[in-house]
Amino acid sequence: MKTTINLRFDKNTIEAAKAYASKKQTSVSAIIEAYLKKLIAQDRKEDFASDNLIGILKQYKDLSDEELKAIYLKDKHNA
């Protein structure tokens, strides 16, 4: 379902966007929609990656700095 949104831009920006859209045989609305979808998709990917990282790190949350350092050094020298 499509709906309407009102945005305000500088006049020169609007004129340039319309010219660009015409050259690409599309509309300013389609360009903005595609851009917003891309931003949202990137944001979701970043959230997903950080969620995975947090899940991995949960096992270390109760360890002291010294315990974390010992694990790091053990892994570093065994690699």
Integer Rg of the chain from CA: 24
What number is the average pLDDT over the span 66-73?
81
pLDDT score, position 52: 61
Closest by CA to 7, choosing from 25, 26, 33, is 33
- Give SS3 for 4: coil
Count CB neighbours of 14 within 10 A: 13
Tell me the pTM: 0.54
Give the whole-angstrom CA distance, residue 32 versus residue 4.
13
For residue range 7-28, list pLDDT tens digits in order: 999 999 999 999 999 999 999 9
Residues comprising the chain, all counted: 79
Domain ranges of the chain: 11-78
